[in-house]
Structure 1
């Protein structure tokens, strides 16, 4: 056979291998049938490719007993070799640092969380993360196998190409790269929680997801076509700053009557107190809802209806298959989620009403750290949108609020 033909066949095989490896890197363990459906490769070709990858130790077979299968052989899936590497995700939230470690088979092998004052300097936050990683390294993780670190931070993360002095994100990235010697990818932590839910949480298997987190602030993220959508200026997912009442309260963004002014922890606690509700801030409101207090339930109904209205606008624009709601307000359960769903059904276009699903988030505080890991595990086109050291506008005051 001519050498040119041999080269062409080798390139084709390499292309098929990369396609399979990319799917496993992005989705975790998959059955052979799932790999075939997603890759478009024939059964014969796929068998040959997986056999070759397994012989080189790139992939392994994993057997999972399924209760639903009943009789017959256990379901077998294929995953990247867990020993091939590990990735770390760090969520630098306002008042805590969360660290998670995942191997190449998408198995979570370690995690830790530490609370700190909101005013703690960034260098100290990085030191705290390093201490947590060092403690984990004494057990499950192997720093020699580390392939990359994903980082979530509060506030906007601007896109590449913008001019400016070294910002706090540059400091974080440089300190972590110097300490661990691997690539560091950074994004907004709420947006990363959306990606985390799509890979490990409530939205597994869904390619188009709207995620909304209602906490002290209100924000979210979009996963479109299986990839995280950042936006041209790094501000995608700022759903909390959608106006719901033009005559409403002033918002920290400079606007008035934003969703965050009526559907955040602070806003609801203040409204409950002003209505004569029991003291105790958000905890008092939560207790009042559990006791069935009418004024508390009325506040949740209004906040849920306005939240559903905002989500309907987002859903009409991007057409997701699933809406995931996280944050403290999701802890109210049906008292909040039912008004959200009712408003969403009312305002979303008719063709989507019977198809769009709403689920509470499943990952809790670990969501952003796991989403940060997905930045490391996922291949192009996702990573092509993330510079190693993104520039950002100065947001220190906002981030520490």
Structure 2
């Protein structure tokens, strides 16, 4: 069988990403270690490393000898590492009511950023137009050529089915089921596009850069317009058989409660999502109240806001209790728009977990706020590109 030239080129691009991923994961590393990590031949690795050095995506450094000298007494090996200034990554977060776009260097440091309020649920195509246009503008603003951008990562507020990457993710959001977001953005940007659920990517970001560093078993809870969770188990992001793991917002916590948009009654989202928190305060604070207002009131010590937020935390605790009993995590990291409310929210979660978990599990699990704030999900989208996580790469161009 004759292999098409396009297939050979696609294979080479894929192998380039494998080499870059190996270097990103290990830091300064030798060519021999890259061979071991990727399974590629020495000749292929040598060729790709030379190519990436010439393009300044990688840079070389000589390993400093130890006090006892280099192994075997010979020359210390030359190591390669990512050149943070050699290229960039685009990150996009498509929330329910806004679009955030960032451009980072290869060390994931943010170089430029833009955010715009948008009814993404109702106007997805327009939101994609804005995201692509803004990404190209930001890339130009920081002086990068588009050919130096490794790819675009996209965090979406809907489940992503990793078992069927060619199809659009199934969603409870009207108008999303027939849209292949990766394909649409690739057509607009001409870049490899990587897609993931925003709560999962928030977990990845906190694991890589934030409160979950060096913790291999933790739960990330995203409290925003909706409620989601990302699970890191055994040092891997766990998405479930069909990419649906972590749908904490649709765990029933009040069986006789309000009907949820998913069709069930009393889901956590109907209690701890942005809408319920705002509604609980709007009768006394006015119809123009927003979630940011509720969070600000809580931080200022308003008794009503603190009670509403703590009650939401208790509902989150009820949803988490069974999950923690089954998974035995070391850490619960709370992020999303509601997380800046701080201690009343965390106290509500901790109180319920203390009551519902066995003492051995409860003493082992800590509940903390995320460290990355509102950037967590978009930084997770960036990390998705640099890590090239299996199962997420929906389009390689």
Aligned residue number for residue 263 of structure 1: 272
Of 355, 367, 372 in structure 2, the residue corresponding to residue 363 of structure 1 is: 372
Structure possessing the higher relative contact order (Cα contacts under 8 Å, 6 or more residues apart): 1
Q: 1:199 aligns with which of 179, 195, 208?
A: 208
Query: Residues 378-401 of structure 1, C-alpha deviation per residue, up to 9 Å, x if partnerless?
Result: 14xx32455439xxxxxxxxxxxx
Q: In structure 2, which of residues 221, 230, 250 is the aligned counterpart of residue 221 of structure 1? A: 230
1:239 CA displacement: 0.4
Q: What is the DSSP-based 3-state SS (H/G/I as helix, E as strand, rest coil) of the residue aligned with 1:328?
A: coil
1:150 corresponds in structure 2 to 153
- Describe the superposition over 1:43-94 as per-residue Cα deviations: whole angstroms up to 9, x where unpaired: xxxxxx9xxx8998435569xxxxxxxxxxxxxx984222554221111112
Name the counterpart of 2:132: 130
Query: Aligned to 2:272, what secondary structure does the other structure show?
Result: coil
Structure 1 pair 330–180 and aligned structure 2 pair: CA distance change class (3 A): closer
Q: Does 1:89 align with 2:91?
A: yes
Displacement of 1:371 after TM fit? 0.9
Compared with structure 1, are the counterparts of its residues 96 and 270 closer, same or farther at alpha carbon in structure 2 (3 Å cutoff)? Answer: closer
SS at match of 2:338: helix
SS in structure 2 at match of 1:248:
coil
Deviation, structure 1 residue 285: 4.1
Task: Give SS of 1:112's match.
Answer: strand
Q: Using the alignment, how far apart are the partners of 1:136 and 1:173 within structure 2?
A: 19
The count of aligned residue pairs is 339
Match of 1:71 in 2: none
Corresponding residue of 2:12: none
Q: What SS does the aligned partner of 2:116 have?
A: strand
The alignment partner of 1:82 has SS state of: coil
| Structure 1 match to 2:390 | 383
- In structure 1, stretches of 5+ residues that fail to align are 1-17, 41-48, 63-76, 390-401
d(CA) in 1 for partners of 2:120, 2:168: 24
Tell me the distance in 2 between the aligned counterparts of 1:233 and 1:185: 17
Q: Relative to structure 1, is the Cα distance of residues 112 and 384 closer, same or farther in structure 2, using a 3 angstrom cutoff?
A: same
Deviations, residues 213-260 of structure 1 (Å, cap 9, x unaligned): 112211121122333222222222110111112122222221112211
Take 1:151 and 1:106, find their aligned partners in 2: how far apart are those partners?
15
1:308 Cα offset (Å):
1.7
Structure 2 stretches of 5 or more lacking a match? 1-16, 38-44, 63-78, 170-175
In 2, distance between residues paired with 1:311 and 1:360? 15
Secondary structure of the residue that 1:198 maps to in structure 2? helix
Alpha-carbon separation, structure 1, partners of 2:168 and 2:180? 11
Tell me the SS of whatever aligns to 1:136. helix
Match 2:345 to one of 336, 340, 344? 336
| Correspondences of 1:180-191 after superposition (within 5 Å) | 180-191=189-200
> TM-score normalized by structure 2?
0.72
TM-score normalised according to structure 1 size: 0.72
What is residue 8 of structure 2 aligned with on the other side?
Answer: none
Q: Report the alpha carbon displacement of residue 362 of structure 1 after superposing the two structures with TM.
A: 2.3
Give the match for residue 24 of structure 2.
25
- Superposition deviation, residue 189 in structure 1: 1.8
Q: How far apart are residue 21 of structure 1 and its match?
A: 6.1
Q: CA RMSD in A?
A: 3.7
Q: Where does residue 160 of structure 1 map in the other structure?
A: 163
- Counterpart contact for 1:54–1:60, Cα < 8 Å: no
**Secondary structure at 1:313 match in 2:** helix
2:196·2:392 contact (CA, 8 Å) conserved in 1?
no
Is 1:320 aligned to 2:329, yes or no?
Answer: yes
